[in-house]
C-alpha cells in the first residue's frame, strides 16, 4: 500500500512554529502538541494494518499500556477526558438528586460531567499554594452536606496543572464519609504521589489526551480503575449500550464514546515518549524557577512537589510586593507573540454555574486574579525557550531596575 500523498510529501508533523526560519518571529504556544516521526510511523502502521474501523489491536494495546503505567487493573479508551469523567461518575453510581463535590478551581469539564449525570456540583475552594482542593475545607463541606441529609454521590479531586492532590490527607476523609472518589487526572498523567501514579487514587480516574495535555491523541481520554465490573459497564455504555446480539439490542441509553484505533496508535507513540516529554517540561520549570527566584512577590505554584508532571508552570504575582501584576507580564509577552493564560476562572464565577452552592475561602479568586500560566510545551526549541526567558528578563528589567543593576 503506498503512503498517503499528504504524509509522503510533507515534513514532520510538528506544528510549524516558524522556529527554523531565523527571520520570522516565532509564535510560542502555552502547551502545543509534541509529535514527530515516531507518531507518524505508528499512525501509518495502524492505517496500513487495515484496522481503521473503530476498534482494533492498537486500542486494546493502548488501554493495557496506560493501565500498566498508572497501575490500575484496567482501562477504557474514550473520545475525551470529559467522556471518561462522565463514565467514571456513572460507574460509582452518581445520578439525579445527588450532589458531587468539585473544586471550584478547575476546567469546566469537571463540573459539566457532573451535570450530565443529573447530579448537582457543589464547589469547594483550593489550597492557595498548589491550586489543589483545600482538604480541611472539603472535610468541613462533607460534614455540612451530611448534616443536611444530602446524598453525596462522589468527590472529584482534580490534580491541578499536573500536581497530585494530597491523597494521604484526602482519601481517609472520603472513606470516613463513605463517599466514592473519582479522580480527575486529566492534567496529571505521569505525576505521582508517594509512589502511586495519578489516576489510581479513586474508585475510578479520568485521563485526557486533548491536544494541549501532557500527551495527546489529538483528542481522547481514558477511564482507569481497579474495579473490573465498573470498567466493563463503562465499556458497554461507551458503545451505545449495545447488547451482544446481531440485531442491535439496547436495554438502556448508551453513548458513542469510544476512541478510534487510529488515535490509539498515536497515543501509543506518545506514551513511549511520555517520560522524555515530562523531563523536558520539568527542565523548563526549573529554568523558570531559577529566573524568578530573586524576584520579590513572585512564587511558583506547587513548586515543592517533585513528583508533578510539570504540565503547566504557573506563577503567582503579589502585586504589592512585586510592583507589577501578572496581567502586565502577560501583555508584554503577548506583544512578542508568546502565549500565556490566566489560571482557570473558578466555577463559582462561571455564568453557567451561577446559583450553584459553594464553600469558599477566596483562594481560587486570588489565584485567578494573580496567577499566570507560562509556555510549558515539551516541543519548545532551545531558541524558543531563550526567546521566552529573554522576554521575561526584559520585562523584569523595566519593572524592577534595582534587580537588574
Ligand X SMILES: *Cc1c(COP(=O)(O)O)cnc(C)c1O
Chain contacts with ligand X (rule: CB under 6 A)? 80-82, 106-107, 109-110, 158, 184, 186-187, 208, 210, 221
Query: Catalytic: 213?
Result: yes
Using the minimum distance from each CB to ligand X, give the nearer residue, 107 or 288: 107
Residue 146 CB, nearest distance to ligand X (Å)?
Answer: 26
Locate cell 491541578: which residue? 160
CB of 30 to ligand X, least distance (A): 12
- Of the pair 115, 151, the CB lying nearest ligand X is at 115
Alpha-carbon distance of 231 to 225, in angstroms, equals 7
CB of 344 to ligand X, least distance (A): 8
DSSP states along 259-327 = PPHHHHHHHHHHHHHHHHHHHHHHHHHHHHHHHHTTSTTEEETTTT-TT----SEEEEE-HHHHSS-HH
CB of 158 or CB of 385, closer to ligand X: 158
Give the cell for residue 192.
505521582
Among candidate residues 8, 14, 387, 17, the one with its CA nearest the CA of residue 211:
14
The CA distances from residue 70 to 146, 176, 179, 191, in Å, are: 32, 25, 22, 9
Nearer CB in complex with ligand X: 66/109: 109
Report the C-alpha gap between 50 and 262 in whole angstroms. Answer: 10
Q: 25, 213, 290, 345: which one is catalytic? A: 213
Q: How far is the CB of 144 from ligand X (least distance, A)?
A: 25
DSSP of 50-86: TTTSS--HHHHHHHHHHHHHHT-SEEEEES-HHHHHH
Residue 171: CB minimum distance to ligand X, A: 19
Residue with cell 460534614: 143
Edge-to-edge strand order for the sheet containing 298-300?
298-300, 313-317, 371-374
Residue 259 grid coordinates: 476512541
Distance CA 165, CA 180 (A): 16
Closest contact distance (angstroms) between CB of 332 and ligand X is: 26
**Closer by beta carbon to ligand X, 17 or else 31:** 31
258: nearest Cα among 91, 114, 73, 54:
54
Alpha carbon 39 to its chain centroid, in Å, reads: 21
Q: Could you tell me the smallest distance in angstroms from the CB atom of residue 187 to ligand X?
A: 5
Question: Nearer Cβ to ligand X, position 165 or 333?
Answer: 165
d(CA 367, CA 126) in angstroms, rounded, equals 9
Cβ-contact 210, 199 below 8 angstroms: no
* Nearest residue relative to ligand X (C-beta): 81
Positions marked catalytic: 213
Amino acid at each position: 500500500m503506498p503512503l498517503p500523498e499528504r504524509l509522503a510529501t510533507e515534513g514532520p508533523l510538528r506544528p510549524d512554529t516558524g522556529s527554523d526560519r531565523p527571520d520570522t518571529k516565532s509564535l510560542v504556544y502555552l502547551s502545543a502538541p509534541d509529535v514527530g516521526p515516531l507518531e507518524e510511523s505508528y499512525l501509518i502502521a495502524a492505517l496500513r494494518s487495515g484496522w481503521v474501523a473503530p476498534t482494533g489491536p492498537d486500542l486494546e494495546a493502548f488501554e493495557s499500556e496506560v493501565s500498566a503505567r498508572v497501575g490500575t487493573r484496567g482501562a477504557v479508551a474514550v473520545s475525551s477526558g470529559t467522556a471518561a469523567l462522565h463514565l467514571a461518575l456513572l460507574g460509582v453510581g452518581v445520578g439525579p438528586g445527588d450532589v458531587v463535590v468539585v473544586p471550584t478551581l478547575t476546567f469546566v469539564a469537571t463540573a459539566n460531567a457532573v451535570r450530565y449525570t443529573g447530579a448537582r456540583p457543589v464547589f469547594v475552594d483550593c489550597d492557595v499554594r498548589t491550586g489543589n482542593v483545600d482538604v480541611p475545607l472539603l472535610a468541613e463541606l462533607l460534614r455540612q452536606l451530611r448534616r443536611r441529609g444530602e446524598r453525596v454521590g462522589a468527590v472529584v479531586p482534580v490534580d491541578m496543572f499536573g500536581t497530585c492532590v494530597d491523597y494521604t490527607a484526602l482519601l481517609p476523609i472520603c472513606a470516613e464519609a463513605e463517599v466514592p472518589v473519582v479522580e480527575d487526572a486529566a492534567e496529571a498523567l505521569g505525576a505521582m504521589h508517594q509512589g502511586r501514579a495519578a489516576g489510581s487514587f479513586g474508585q475510578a480516574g479520568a485521563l485526557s489526551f486533548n491536544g494541549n495535555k501532557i500527551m495527546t491523541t489529538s483528542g481522547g481520554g481514558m477511564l482507569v480503575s481497579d474495579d473490573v465490573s465498573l470498567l466493563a459497564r463503562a465499556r458497554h455504555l461507551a458503545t451505545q449500550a449495545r447488547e451482544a446480539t446481531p440485531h442491535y439490542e439496547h436495554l438502556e441509553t448508551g453513548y458513542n464514546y469510544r476512541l478510534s484505533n487510529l488515535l490509539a496508535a498515536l497515543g501509543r507513540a506518545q506514551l513511549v515518549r511520555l517520560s522524555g516529554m515530562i523531563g523536558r517540561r520539568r527542565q523548563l520549570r526549573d529554568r523558570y524557577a531559577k529566573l524568578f527566584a530573586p524576584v520579590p512577590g513572585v512564587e511558583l505554584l506547587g513548586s515543592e512537589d517533585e513528583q508533578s508532571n510539570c504540565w503547566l508552570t504557573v506563577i503567582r504575582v503579589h502585586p504589592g510586593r512585586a510592583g507589577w501584576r501578572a496581567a502586565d507580564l502577560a501583555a508584554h509577552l503577548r506583544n512578542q507573540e508568546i502565549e500565556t493564560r490566566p489560571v482557570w476562572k473558578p466555577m463559582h464565577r462561571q455564568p453557567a454555574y451561577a446559583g450553584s452552592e459553594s464553600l469558599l475561602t477566596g483562594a481560587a479568586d486570588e489565584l485567578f486574579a494573580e496567577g499566570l500560566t507560562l509556555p510549558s510545551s515539551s516541543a519548545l526549541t532551545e531558541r524558543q525557550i531563550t526567546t521566552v526567558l529573554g522576554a521575561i528578563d526584559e520585562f523584569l528589567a523595566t519593572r524592577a531596575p534595582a534587580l537588574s543593576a
